[in-house]
Each structure stands twice: as C-alpha cells, then as structure tokens.
Structure 1
Amino acid sequence: MKLLRRVFRLFRLSLHILTGVMLTALMAGILRISFNKPFYQRLISWWLSGVARRVGVRVTLFGEPAGDGVLMVANHISWLDIALLGGYARPRFLSKQEVRHWPVIGWLADKSGTLFITRGKAGAAAQASATILQALQGGRAVLLFPEGTTTTGNDVRTFHARLLAPALDVGVRVQPVALRYPGSDGLTHPLVPYVDQQSLWDNLQGLLGEQEIRAEIHFLPPLETAGLDRKTLAARCEQQVRAVVTQRGEG
C-alpha cells in the first residue's frame, strides 16, 4: 500500500511541479508580470499550498498572518515549511545564495521573489540586512528562519538577532510563527525533519508513503519593536515560538 501511495503521490506532485514551471514561464518570462502583483502572489500561494497537499499534508491554522509590511520569524524543520508558509502567508523568503542555482527549484524561487543572501563571507550579514530592509520598505512581508538551520522540531535553537535588525530600522512589527508536525506521541513526526545531511529525495520518499502528515501553523500576535534592541526582540520571538513547539499534547 505504501508503494502504491508513494507512486501515485509522486505522479501528482510531478504534474504539479510541471504546471508551476509552465505558469512561471508564462507569467515571468513571457508576460513579464512582477511577482509583487497581487494576482501573481495568489498564484504562487496556490502552487505552494498545492505542493503540501500532494505530499499528503493536512494543515491546521491558529491565528492569522499579520499582512504586508511585517517581518515574520519562524522555527525551521523541513523544506515543507516553505510550502506551508508560502501557501498561507504569502511572504518573501530569505534563502542562501546556493539555492538560486538548484535545478528547477532555484529558478522557481528566483521568479517568485525569494531574497537570496551569501552566507559565510565578509560583509554577508550587512548584505542580508540591506536586502531585508529594502523588501520591508517596499511594503511586502518578509519571512526568515532565524535559527539558521533545520532542527528536529522538538525544541527551538537560538534565534540569531542580527537578521531582525531591519525591522527595528524600518519600525515594522515582527510576527513570530511556530510550526509543528505532530506525530501520534505529540512529538514531531519522525519522517518530517530535513536534517543530518539527508537528501531531499530520501526525505520526500518517506513523506509520500505516509497516509497523512499533520501540520500546525501558529501565527502568534505581532510584536511592536519600538524601544527594543535586536537581542531582546530575538529573545522574545524565540521564547514565544518555543512555548508552542515544546507542547507535548497529541496534535
């Protein structure tokens, strides 16, 4: 049964990816429509949420996105996080520069308005802050994963404060977002975390064989940034996200 489910879902997902490539080529390549246009944003949102559905993810929402002009910060567990948050919140994502060169995925990310930064080089932090600042000044919501890496999802790593500085510079609110993928024991479903040098293909195969993957998106109340420094702001966001992530009740 798992093999049949895996093959069927992979077929549907492949068709959906092909549809995304063709629509992106039409919108961005031929019609030259900006990713900031509301129709294009809705199309991207539809496509990303469709990726999650075809993998077998059932989503439960708590709260709601604060809208445009906010900085959203979330814990990071899986590549699925992007499909879920992009499908329900429509932010611009911050990603490492290497993703831009990935086949198909990098091209789709670029044409959907992803903000790419170079990590590990001199001046990288300043460049990242400038990129985020420009996007926030343009009025769009920006989402980043301040842990800097994926985790098992059962706790939260330290939120790096440096990337939150643009929110203070512009004076926009910051919305913490907590993600959970609860299994039967209340802990993160063991097949969801994209960690330990696992390949995307190996992770995807495991997910496709499951009957259902449950996901929770908790949009927490936005924080006003006036009078805060970046370390205090990061600590408050981390604390609020951790309070949700470490819940142990059955999802």
Structure 2
Amino acid sequence: MTGNLRLGLRLAALASALMGALLIHGLWRLFRIPSPWPRRFLGLVARIVGARVRVIGTPLRRDVVLLANHLSWIDILAIAGATGSAFVAKGELRGVPLVGWLCTLNHTLFVSREDRLQVTAQIARLRDAIGGGRPVTIFPEGTTGDGRTLLPFKAALLAALDPPPPGVRVQPVRIDYGAATADLAWVGEEPGQHHALRVLRRRGTFPVTLHLLAPFDPVETGNRKAIAAAARSAIVAAA
C-alpha cells in the first residue's frame, strides 16, 4: 500500500469517526448528560493514526495535574483517551479551523504567554479547572523534544500550582514511543501539517507507552520550581 493510499484511508476513517462522535456527543448533550465522547473520539483518533496505547500505572481520575514529557501532538490523543484529561495549549491553537473547536469540546485551556496583561486571569482559570475535578495535563518542557533528551521544565508554566488548589496531587507521566521515537518526534522547524501528513502516510502501527508514575503532594514538595524539579526527576528516573 502506498503512502498516499494510507493517507486517504486514514483521512476517511477520521472523517467517519468525527461524524459519528459528534452525533452521539450531541445526543448526550441534548439530554444534559456529561459526555465521554470527546475523550473517546481522541482515543480513537490515536488508534486510526497508528498508535497502540499501553498504560503502565494507575492514573488519578480527579483533582490531579499530569506533568508529562512532550514529543508530538499524538501525546494529546493518547493521554486524553487513557485518562480523560483536559490540556493547557497555546492560545493560537484556538483559531485553527476544526482543531480549535475540537479542543474546546475537550475543555482545553488556552493560554497566551505574550499577553502579560492576562497572565493573572489565565492562572485563575487554570486553578479553577484544576480544582474542578477532571485531570489537567501540562507539558512543562513548553515544546516538543526528540524523545531522547528531556528538556528543562519551565516552572513558570506551573504558576497555578504555587500555591496549589486544596487536595490536588501532581502525577508525572513519561511518554515513550519505543523504536518509533525518531519517526514520530516533532522537533525542529517542521511545520505541523507536514508532520501530521508524514504520520498519516506512515506504514504500520507504533507503540505509545504511558508510564503513570507515583503521584505526590505539591504542598509538601514546595514552590513551583520544586514541583517542576520533582516531576522531572521522576520522569528521568523512569527512563
């Protein structure tokens, strides 16, 4: 099968999955029932693009911030499907056709690092989301890496945990693509659409292992710099 044929089949499968998920999601919303379908749809998208997700460890389901290393947009699909987590994303993603709307369905929190006037309000919204029950995932590297070297964690991205909302735990997550890491890591200046097309044309499947590491109490750990250091150390130790 050629790469372009695989691309066409996967795009068709994604379109069918989207239409089906939106229909069922709409029915759940019509009856005012909390809908699991954004999470299930993202998990299905991960499978369609070739990911075979394996979870090691037990994810906390509420009152938790997941701090994960970051390799690709596939990370979001895998974590959302496995945990039901919402995410913190760059503000410009909101304006991307379809993608931005799908992000809002999964309760994505959009932040803008350039808009310093809104920093306080953004931190307050993030604290509310963290204390709202569902998991929230932050990628504290602030960008994607090559999967071999863990970048420094930016403590500024953890401002909502300094101090943390009452009862919230932090759970580090190590994402591992195994032998497919070099193919799938999104690094350098490669445009997002080029990376996505490359993944969709790729032959076969690939593993995505989510190592859900031991959660810790951020209050006992210290300020956001100490939290970032503790989470990073746990992910490094799990490699």
TM-score (norm 2): 0.87
1:129/1:163 contact within 8 Å kept: no
Distance 1:118 1:28, change over 3 A: farther
C-alpha separation in 2, matches of 1:26 and 1:61: 26
1: distance between equivalents of 2:64 and 2:89?
17
Which amino acid is the alignment partner of residue 233 of structure 1? I
The reply to whether residue 170 of structure 1 matches residue 170 of structure 2 is no
Q: How does 1:206-217 map to 2 (within 5 A)?
A: 206-207=198-199, 208-217=201-210
CA RMSD of aligned residues (A): 2.4
Q: Which residue of 1 aligns with 2:194?
A: 202
1:105 to 95, 99, 108: 99
Q: Which amino acid aligns with 1:195?
A: V
* 1:63-95 residue CA offsets vs partner (Å, 9 max, x unmatched): 021111111111110000000000001111111
The percent of aligned pairs where both chains have the same amino acid is 29
Q: Does residue 218 in structure 1 map to residue 211 in structure 2?
A: yes
The aligned length equals 235
Q: How much does 1:54 deviate?
A: 1.0
Of the three residues 47, 54, 62, the one matched with 1:60 is 54
Counterparts of 2:10 and 2:102, CA distance in 1 = 18
Once residues 140 and 101 of structure 2 are traced to their aligned partners in structure 1, the CA distance between those partners, rounded to angstroms, is 24
- Do the aligned partners of 2:69 and 2:139 also contact (CA within 8 Å) in 1? yes
Residue of structure 2 in register with 1:234 after alignment: 228
**CA–CA distance in 1 between the matches of 2:233 and 2:22?**
38
Whole-Å separation in 1 of the counterparts to 2:101 and 2:16: 13
5+ unaligned residues in a row in structure 1: which ranges?
A: none
Q: Given the superposition, is the C-alpha separation of residues 140 and 95 from structure 1 closer, same or farther in structure 2, using an over 3 Å criterion?
A: same
Ranges in structure 2 where 5+ consecutive residues have no aligned partner: none
Shift in Å, 1:32: 5.6
CA distance in structure 2 between the partners assigned to 1:19 and 1:59 by the alignment = 18
Q: Which residue in the other structure is 1:190 paired with?
A: 182
SS at match of 1:190: helix
Alpha-carbon shift at residue 9 of structure 1 (Å):
5.3
What SS does the corresponding residue of 1:216 show, helix, strand or coil? strand
